[in-house]
Amino acid sequence: MPSVARAGGAAAGVDDPLVGVVLDGRYRIESRLARGGMSTVFTGTDLRLDRSVALKVMDAQLAGDPQFAGRFAREARAAARLSHVNVVAVHDQGEDAGHAFLVMELVRGRTLRDLIREHGRVSPELAIAITEPVLAALAAAHRAHLVHRDIKPENVLLGDDGVVKVADFGLARALADLSSTAENSAVMGTAAYVAPEQITRGATTPRTDVYSTGIVLFEMVTGRAPFAGGSSVSTAYRHVHEDVPAPSARVAGLPRALDALVVRATRRDPAARPADAAEFLARLHDARHAAGLRRVPVPPRLPVRDRTPDPALTAAADEQRTRVHRGLAATAIVTTTTPADGAPAVAPANGATTLAPRGRVAAGPRPARRGGAHPLESTAEAAQAWPERQRRHRRRFLLGVAVILVLALAACVGGWWLGDGRFTTVPKLTDLTTSEALAAARHGDLKLTVASTRTHSETVPAGYVARTDPRPGERAHRGATVTAVVSAGPERYRLPAGLVGDRAAAVRVALGGYPLRVEVATTYDEHVARGVVTAVDPRGGTVVRRGEVVIVHVSAGPTPFEMLDVTGQDLPTAQASVLRSGMRVAVQRSASDTVPPGMVISTQPAAASVVHRGAHAVLTVSTGPAPVAVPDVRTMTIPEAESMLEAQGFTVQVHQLWGWGGTVSSQTPAAGEIALHGTPVQITTL
């Protein structure tokens, strides 16, 4: 199929039999722009709205196929519902005298094919600038569940105003339901851009358009398609069985990010490509940023070889216009009368002054005679006045009808304007550049202002409209102002470095100024003191998004364990056991009446208490019984002295001088001396 018409190129010829034909009583065919295997594209005029349009007239064999005619009408209606600044608008569709036709927006400019044919490869910046609106158009189609199926340079139009548009939405699908011959012709006609799954399974998804767009991007930066040359069959075979090479394999020095994106978009496996045009567009923005390429606009008017109109075409158009004007010319009614002298007089129907023959004066109406008129004269005058009265009555009647029609039309227009006419629906301006949004707003009879502040967005690239007020789909007065808020791109923050080793409280303060969720995780660490940060996840210097969770790992000190029970052990053994557990040991001594000297009486912390490595353990070691003062038992009887001394822990030795009982006269050790428990005390009696 030829591309949708773009004005400005040389005409394909002026001898087409359809030139001058008016389709459906409304669309006059002016000149032929291009002819393809299945359709012909003409420039035309919408006589009802007095505007230039592009007319795509399908081949007579296709129009005669009922299956195609039904599919063509359905797909044309689906394409007409797709409204986007980068999509060639479909105005109407119909059939007249065996001619199935499509009425579309007439784009002044040329195709991407013209640009590549005349200039070869273009710079990566310009290639990306052209691909972006193509993907924006496809993204809108994919959101509406439409797949183009035939993306190629011929269907990418470069307008003289710098706007890039995609043409022929829906026609590829209509052609796909024809007979096998027509189907093969449709597929093989664009074999250089067809996806492998279209050839092997006839399957088409948004990833199919992604593949074809990747091939077009490859051709722009290298000057030719990857599998160009040879027959359509051999080209299609290579798409199925060969991988598309990286563009840098053809042209050295291309950015690696652009290389990788083209390779990904043209993978033979559809699942390995971007899911749809919206994802492809996002990846294209990333690739341009990674490659450090500047954003450039598409030149408003690209140079072409020859824009001089074909003289034959101009002559044919002039002749057609002449025929139309002749057909519209009014026909005057001429009345011939014979004056008295026999010379003829001409009476134009428009009421102009009648011209008499040269040298004569035209006779006017005679004044009435006083006293009456001659009967024959009155009859003649009445006969002459009758046509004039008829014309006056007719003019008055027509004037009255015209006044009534004007008033009725004014009432209808006023009612429409007060009801719905003064309102319009806010179009979808998001995901567009400000210039694209401005054009779309103007198209919708609205004004656009850009807010001074920007907003962060995870889905809308920087520099594109993120939201509008009023929102898309809302009603607004014609001429109202829509405020567009431009995206600043994703909201990202870089974590500070050097947080590891600081106290947890200090790290919390450092992260407190970021819109993040900070969570603390404590872990035991044998080598890091309690409360010190051991790690941050993500680590310092990482770029994170708003609300992302940052985990701060804080040491809880060494791993705890239970205190050993070393009571009753001798000091060397107990001390060695505690040291092996990782604790430090301190020794203190205490007298004990029950624990032998040198044995551990108790520990601090007590046995089975939770302790940490490096903590202090105090071992209390027995020094045996505590020394006490020897009581004074002199003057006591032997039984009394023995009872008191034994009560104090002493042993008693009795020495009787004379061999019979009596009172204690002396003692050793002496009363008041300090002695250990168990020390023998000798008492002497007289």
Three-state DSSP class for residue 30: strand
Measure the CA–CA gap between 400 and 130, rounded to whole angstroms.
Answer: 58
**Interatomic CA distance for residues 235 and 399, integer angstroms:** 71
Dihedral angle computed from the Cα positions of residues 566, 571, 572 and 578, in that order, rounded to the nearest 10 degrees:
40
The two three-digit tokens of residue 346, written as one number: 């001409």
Q: Are 417 and 437 contacting, i.e. CB atoms less than 8 angstroms apart?
A: no
Which residue of the set 65, 150, 209, 431 is catalytic? 150
Per the annotation, the verdict on 150 as an active-site residue is yes
CA distance 84 to 444: 11
Distance CA 29, CA 34 (A): 13
Radius of gyration of the chain (CA): 54
Query: How open is the CA angle 29-31-37, to the nearest 5 degrees?
Result: 90
The residues near 369 (Cβ < 8 Å, ≥ 6 apart) are: none
Reading the block at residue 263, the tokens are 């390779």
Query: What gap in Å lies between CA 444 and CA 478, rounded to an integer?
Result: 8
Q: Residue 281 in contact with residue 206, Cβ under 8 Å?
A: no
Give the H or E element holding residue 45: strand 39-46
DSSP output for 80-131: HT---TTBPPEEEEEEETTEEEEEEE-EEEEEHHHHHHHH-S--HHHHHHHH
Q: Which residues of 106-120 are buried (b: 16+ CB within 10 A; e: fewer)?
A: bbebbbbbbbbeeee
Among 280, 259, 267, 270, which Cα is nearest to 138's?
280
Task: Say how far apart CA 161 and CA 151 lie, in whole Å.
Answer: 22
* DSSP symbols for 540-560: TT-EEETT-EEEEEEE--SPE
Coil, strand, or helix at residue 3?
Answer: coil
The CB-based long-range contact list for 195-200 (8 Å cut-off, 24+ gap) reads 195/239, 195/270, 196/239, 196/240, 196/268, 197/270, 198/149, 199/236, 199/239, 199/240, 200/240
CB 468 within 8 A of CB 483: yes
Rounded CA-CA distance 630/672 in Å is: 5
For strand 543-545 and strand 492-494, is the pairing parallel, antiparallel, or unpaired? Answer: antiparallel
Q: Contact at 8 Å (CB) between 664 and 681?
A: no
Residues taking part in catalysis: 150
